[in-house]
Amino acid sequence: MSMIATLTDATVKRRGKTILGPINFELAPAGITIVLGPNGAGKTTLLKVLHGVERLSSGRIQWSVPDAEARQSQAYVFQSPIMLRRTVGQNLAYPLKLVKAPKADIARRVAAWADKTGLADAIDRPATRLSGGEKQKLALGRALIRKPAVLFLDEPCANLDGRSTREIEALLAKAHADGTRIIMTTHDLGQARRLAQDVIFLLKGQYHDHGQAAAFFSKPRTAEAKSFLQGDIVE
């Protein structure tokens, strides 16, 4: 299922201050979109708005399917994933239990995803004891196990070593190849270059630029985007 999101004057205000918007754009139905921008630019807020967990102060967001259906077919991976105080296998099984999948189906898919995430040997271990990289892979497996149409990720590789980062990027590339639409934030420009098909560049809560990744990285259109890519402080 492909879904398009349309934002119309989408604005988020907190304590009287506008932290996002007004933003107008249409999110294409496929691909890997990377949201870039300095700290506090509104990246997390935009992701939450798209997923429907951050309330708009004004304007609207409309998915091309009814809201409940859109939410059902989306998954969100937080920067610091919350693990259930249960085993790795039970964490993977959780989203399938919520939708009352048949037991045999759950067992089969949990085994497959433990394998895909490199956690097969840890399947009976408490999830809270995993390393940071393992937790993030588990969170990703738990998000992908229902094959979401859209997957949001907020800095999925923050504080991870190169090996875990590479493994997570491989899982994301595979999910994308299997038809999941990916929208993620990262502070890692190398990662953005490796994964992005298009880039949304936010600045001070504004939708500053949006373009194909190759063009954005090789020929940024604005002075701010250029400075950002050079590693300068942009505010």
- Could you give the CA distance from residue 185 to residue 114 in angstroms, rounded to a whole number? 25
Binding residue for ligand ATP, selected from 2, 9, 14, 161, defined by CB under 6 A: 14
- Which is closer to ligand ATP, CB of 113 or CB of 216? 216
Does 39 bind ligand ATP (CB under 6 A)? Our answer is: yes
Does 89 bind ligand ATP (CB under 6 A)? Our answer is: no
Binding part of the chain for ligand ATP, among 42-50, 84-92, 95-103, 223-231 by CB under 6 A, reads: 42-50
**Bridge partner residues of 73 (DSSP):** none
Does 51 bind ligand ATP (CB under 6 A)? Our answer is: no
Binding residue for ligand ATP, selected from 45, 91, 180, 191, defined by CB under 6 A: 45
Do 85 and 128 contact (CB within 8 A), yes or no? yes
Do 156 and 6 contact (CB within 8 A), yes or no? no
The H helix count followed by the E strand count for the chain is: 9, 9
- Which is closer to ligand ATP, CB of 40 or CB of 179? 40
Q: What SS3 state is found at 167?
A: helix
Please provide residue 74's backbone torsions phi and psi, each rounded to the nearest 5 degrees: -120, 155
Instruction: Please name the residue that has the structure tokens 């630029």.
Output: 209
- Which is closer to ligand ATP, CB of 45 or CB of 136? 45
Q: How far is the CB of 50 from ligand ATP (least distance, A)?
A: 12
Binding residue for ligand ATP, selected from 7, 21, 23, 42, defined by CB under 6 A: 42
